[in-house]
Amino acid sequence: GKFFGEIDIIKGLKFRSSLAYKYYMNDVTTFNPKNNIRYDAEGNALTTVGTNKLTDYHYLETTYINENILTYDFSVGKHSFNLLAGHSIQATRWDKNEASKQGFATDNIYEMDGGTMNDHVTGSAEESSLQSFFGRLNYNYGGRYLLEMNVRHDGSSRMPKAHRYATFPSFSGAWIM
């Protein structure tokens, strides 16, 4: 879900704040019986006798995003300006676990403790975050000459500490004939 609020501070000056949250969970349990039936190209049943196996899989991911943006619009004669300054932060965490076991006495037992062989357990987790500071200046002279300057200062927890942040400027202009 996403929530936001916006307030007009004074004429032309606005502040907007938003918060978004994502929650994703996937839990899967599978059981492969001893007798597995499959069919050949002619439709004949082929029975394979093997070892039954129970697998439990769990995945959970959460993400938070917060953005705060301040904009200011004003004009002086034929000169129009739009200024924007903002901050954004995103934090994500995921956890993954999987367990499986084989050798169940019957194909009617669906609990890990019922298996007698080949225990397999694995799991991992990760956290990451992104942060950005950004600004923009738009200039318009009489609807004919346009200039835009942007700058971003972005950081990522996935980068080494010495290179965690970088600055990205840009500039553009136009002449409407």
pLDDT tens digits along 36-63 = 777 888 988 887 777 889 999 999 999 9
Under the banding of pLDDT at 50, 70 and 90, the label for residue 136 is: very high
* pLDDT, position 109: 78
* pLDDT, position 75: 97
82 pLDDT exceeds 90? Answer: yes
Range of the domain at 33: 2-175
Under the banding of pLDDT at 50, 70 and 90, the label for residue 111 is: confident
**81 exposed, middle or buried (CB, 10 Å; 0-12, 13-18, 19+)?**
middle
* pLDDT, position 37: 77
**97 exposed, middle or buried (CB, 10 Å; 0-12, 13-18, 19+)?**
middle
What is the CA angle 28-93-61, rounded to 5?
30
Q: Is the pTM of this model over 0.75?
A: no
Phi, psi of 38 (to 5 degrees): -135, 170
How many structural domains does the chain have? 1
Short-list 67, 61, 66, 122, CA closest to 93:
61
